Amino acid sequence: MIEGLLQPSHLLLILLAALLVFGPKKLPELGKGLAQGIRSFREGIKLTDPSVAPEIDEKN
């Protein structure tokens, strides 16, 4: 079911639909925002490693 999902014709239709919905000026901004979100997600995953995460002072 999923094996034929990302064929070139499907990707072209998705791109065309996104172009119609968001317009040509908004697509680069959306791509940039998506890339920044992915980068911050990856950094967050790296910080879950206890050996990398900074120690938090638990004084209240």
- pLDDT digit of tens for each residue in the chain (60 aa)? 567 777 888 888 988 998 899 888 888 898 899 899 999 998 888 876 565 555 555 554
How many beta carbons lie within 10 A of that of residue 18, not counting itself?
14
| Domain-embedded: residue 60 | no
Q: Could you give phi then psi for residue 49, rounded to 5 degrees? A: -70, 120
- How far is residue 53's CA from residue 44's CA, in Å, rounded to a whole number? 10
Would residue 36 count as lying in a domain? yes
Q: Structural domain tally of the chain?
A: 1
Question: What pLDDT, on a 0 to 100 scale, did the predictor assign at position 60?
Answer: 47
- The number of beta carbons lying within 10 Å of the beta carbon of residue 27 is 14
Structural domain for 44, as ranges: 24-49
Q: Output the six-digit token pair for 25.
A: 């000026």
Q: Crossing angle of helices 8-22/27-46, nearest 10°?
A: 110
